A and B are shown apart, each in its own frame.
Chain A
Amino acid sequence: MSRFNRFTLTGLVMLALLIIAPVVIAQTDWSGGLPLLTRIVIYALAVVSLDLIIGYGALVSFGHAMFFSLGGYVVAVLLHHTNMGDTIFGWEGTNSALLLWPLALLACALLGLVVGYLALKTRGVQFIMITLAFAQMVYFVLVSLQYYGGDDGLMMDMRNTMPSIQLDDPWAFYYLALTLLVVWVLFCRLIVNSRFGLVFQALRQSERRAVNLGVNPLPFRLTAFVISAVGTGLAGILWANYAEFVTPDMATWAKSGEFLAIVTLGGLGTLLGPIAGAAVFIGLEQILTIWTEHWMIVMGPMLVLIALFGQQGMLGRYLKGGRHD
C-alpha cells in the first residue's frame, strides 16, 4: 500500500475513533472521559505542530511550551481585563474568540519569529539549548507577573464566546477542538508536500546540497518555525479555555519535554504518529495517577523501551514504510 494511502487510512481510523469515543463513553458513568479526550486532542494539536519542525526539519525545539503558555496567557489576560471593566490601551476589550484567538496567535507568531531568528543561527545541541533558554525566560516572566497571579496563575471567569458555538458546553468544545486538529493536520500535510515543504525537507537531509541548489536556509526554517509556534499557541488557547485557568506551569521545561517525548513516542515525521502518542501518553498518565502519584516511575521506563525497541515510535515504521523503493 502506498504511503499516501497509509496516511489517509490511519487518519480516517483515528478520526472515526475520536468522533465516536465520546458517544461511547457517554453510555457509561465515567465522567472523566470527555475531559480526557479533550486534553488528548489539545495536546495532539501542539505535538503535531512540533513534529512539523522536528520530523521534517530536524529542528529540535526544547522550548515549545513558551508558545503553549503565551497563547493561553494572552486570552486569559485579555479576558481578565475585559471582565474587570478595564480598558486596554483605551480599548474596552472583548470576550469574543474570533478576536482574542487571532490576537493570541499573532503574539505567538511574533515570539516565534524573534526566537526562531536567533535560535536558527545555531544547529543541533545549541539550538536545543537556546530554545530551552527562551522558554525559561518566558516562564520566569510569567512567574513574576504578580498582577496576573504570579506562581498561582490566573483564573478565567468564563470561556471565550463564539457565535453559534457554546464553548461552555463540553461536547461542543471537544468537537470544536477536534475540528481544529483535523484542519491543522491537513494544513501541515499540505505544507509538507508543497514546494516549500520539499525545500524544507531537503535542508534536513542535506543542507550542503540544498545550499548549492541556491537555497538560503534561514527563511525556510524560520517560516516553518513560526507556523509551528502558531499551532502550539492555538493548543495553548484551547487549553486555557478548557481549564479556565492558566499557570506558569504551561511554560515549564517539563512541558516542553512532554511535547518532545510524545512526538518521539508516536513517530517523528509522520504528523499522525504524535496524535497516537498524545493519546497513549495522556491516557497512561490518567490511569497511572489513579494508581500512584509517582506515575513517571512507570511512564519513564515505558518511554525508554519504546524508544529502544519501537519501530521509530508507535507509527513511524508503518507510516513511513510502504513506499516502494
Chain B
Amino acid sequence: MTEAGVSAADVSVLSLDQLHKAFGALKVTDDVTLEVRSGEIHALIGPNGAGKSTLIAQICGEMRSDAGRVSFKGRDVTDLSAFKRARLGLGRSFQTTQLCFEFSVLEHVILSLDCMEGGSFNLVANPRNDAALREEAMHWIGKVGLTGRESRQVANLAHGERRQLELAVSLARKPHVLVLDEPMAGMGAEESARMVDLLGELKGEYPMLLVEHDMDAVFTLADRISVLVYGRVIFTGTVDEVRRNPEVRSAYLGDEAC
C-alpha cells in the first residue's frame, strides 16, 4: 500500500466531494465530503435515519447522486455503475446479508474469485474443479475463520457465520477499499467480539469505511470517525476528538459516551 516517499496515511483511496441526494424535499445526503485514507478504518456513525444507507448506496453505485463527486483510487467514478466500481476493487458488505443461499461456502468464494473480471462466459469449464481456485478460496475461508464449514450450504450457516462469509467473499477479491454496512448487526456479544477481532487483524491491510451502531466496536477499531446527522457530516475527527466534542455528544452519543 505504501508508496515510496508518501506516508500511507496521506493517500486518499476513497473520497466523497460535496455529495448530494434528495428525495423530494428531504435532503438525505447534504453536502457530504469525506475521505477514506489508505490503511485507516474510517467509521461513519449517526442516529437512525441519518442517511447512512443512502450514502453507501451512492458510494457503491446503486444510487445516483444529485450532485457531487465520488473518487476511488484517484479516479472519478461518479457515473460508473455498481458492477464497474466493484471491478475496480470496491468491496462491500450489506446491512442485511446478501448471499447466494443455495451455494456452499466454498462455491460462493469460488464465485467471488471467478468474477474478478466480471464473470466468465465459459459454458464448459467447471470452476469447482479448478484446484488453484479451490486452494485460494480455502485460504480466504480460513482467513475469516470458517475452516471446516466450506461444504456447508450458505442457507444452513448461523447468522454470524454468514457475516464472516460476506467478509471472505469481499476479501477474496483483494479489494482496495471495504465498505462495511453494520457488520455487527444482529450478532450476539460473542460473535460480535470475534468480528471486532477479525476486523482488527485486517486493519492496515485494507482501508475500510465502517458503518456501525456498536459504539464499543467503533471506538476500538476506528482511526477516525465521521458523524452523520440528517444527511450532514457534523464532525470528523479522531476517536478522542469525537468523544470530547459537545455537538456530537448532544446530537448522537448522549449518555453512552459519558
Which residues of A approach B to under 8 Å, CB–CB? 190-191, 193-199, 201-202, 205-206, 208-216, 219-220, 223, 323-325
* B92 smallest CB distance to A (angstroms): 6
Q: Which residue of B lies closest to A205 (CB)?
A: B100
Are A195 and B119 in contact, CB atoms less than 8 angstroms apart?
yes
Closest to B87 in A: A214
**Which residues of B (114-134) have their CB < 8 Å from a CB of A?**
114-128
Chain B positions within 8 Å of A191 at CB level: 123
User: Which residue of A213, A323, A325 contacts B115 across the interface (Cβ within 8 Å)?
Assistant: A213
B98 within 8 A of A: yes
Cross-interface CB contact of B82 among A193, A211, A219, cutoff 8 Å: A211
The answer for the CA separation of A196 and B125 in the assembled complex, in Å, is: 9
Residue contact A210 to B115, C-beta cutoff 8 Å: yes
Residue of A209, A213, A215 with highest tally of chain B CB at under 10 A = A213
Q: How far is the CA of A212 from the CA of B95 in the complex (A)?
A: 14
Establish whether residues B118 and A215, one from each chain, have CB atoms under 8 Å apart when the complex forms: yes
A325 to B62, CA, bound (A): 33
Contact B120 A199 (CB under 8 A): yes
Q: Closest residue to B102 on the A side, CB-wise?
A: A205
* A214 CA / B124 CA spacing, docked (Å): 21
Q: Are A220 and B99 in contact (CB under 8 A)?
A: no
Residue of B with least CB distance to A212: B86
A213–B173 touching, CB < 8 Å = yes
CB–CB A193/B126 < 8 A: yes
Kindly state the separation between the CA atoms of A52 and B19 in the bound complex, as whole angstroms.
Answer: 43
* In-complex Cβ contact of B86 among A190, A198, A213, A223 (8 A): A213
Beyond known contacts A205-B100, A214-B117: 12 more, CB 8 A cutoff: A195-B114, A199-B119, A205-B101, A206-B98, A208-B62, A209-B169, A211-B62, A214-B173, A215-B83, A215-B115, A220-B121, A223-B121
B116 nearest CB neighbor, chain A only: A214
Chain B: interface residue total (CB-CB under 8 A)? 42
Residue interface bits B72-97, CB-to-A below 8 A is 1, else 0: 00000000011110110001101000
* Contact partners of A219 in chain B: CB under 8 A: 121
Quick one: CB contact mask for B153-193 with A, threshold 8 Å, 1 for yes? 10010000000000001000100000000000000000000
Asked if B30 is at the interface (CB within 8 A of a chain A CB), the reply is: no
Complex: chain A residue closest to B110, CB-CB: A198
Q: Quick check: A190 and B124 within 8 Å, CB to CB? A: yes
Cβ B114 vs Cβ A201 within 8 A: no
Does B112 belong to the interface (CB within 8 Å)? yes
A195 touches B103 (CB 8 A): no
The complex places the Cα of A325 from the Cα of B111 at a distance, in Å, of 19
A3 to B181, CA, bound (A): 36
Q: What is the minimal beta-carbon distance from B122 to any residue of chain A, in angstroms?
A: 4
A199–B99 CB distance below 8 A: no
Q: Is the CB of A196 within 8 A of B115?
A: no
Given contacts A202-B100, A212-B92, contact A194 B126 (CB under 8 A): yes
In the assembled complex, the CB of A216 is this many whole angstroms from the nearest CB of chain B, namely 5
B220 to chain A, nearest CB (A): 27
Indicate if the CB atoms of A206 and B115 lie closer than 8 Å: no
Contact pick for A195, options B86, B92, B100, B122, CB 8 Å: B122
Any A CB within 8 A of the CB of B18:
no
Contacts of A213 in B (CB 8 A): 86, 111-112, 115, 119, 169, 173
Q: Which residues of A contact B122 (CB under 8 A)?
A: 194-196
Kindly list chain B residues whose C-beta atoms are within 8 Å of the C-beta of A194: 122-127
Q: Which residues of chain B are near A216, meaning CB under 8 Å?
A: 81, 83, 118-119
CA distance A104 to B124 in the complex (A): 25
Residues on B with C-beta less than 8 A from A209 are 94, 98-100, 169
Instruction: Contact check, B94 vs A208: say whether CB atoms are below 8 A apart.
Output: yes
Query: How far, in angstroms, from A205 to B153 measured CA to CA in the complex?
Result: 13
Q: Does B147 sit within 8 A of A, measured CB to CB? A: no
Sample 21 A-B pairs with CB under 8 A, ordered by A number: A190-B124, A195-B119, A195-B120, A195-B122, A195-B127, A196-B120, A198-B110, A199-B114, A202-B103, A205-B100, A205-B102, A206-B100, A208-B62, A211-B86, A212-B60, A212-B98, A213-B86, A213-B115, A213-B119, A216-B81, A220-B119
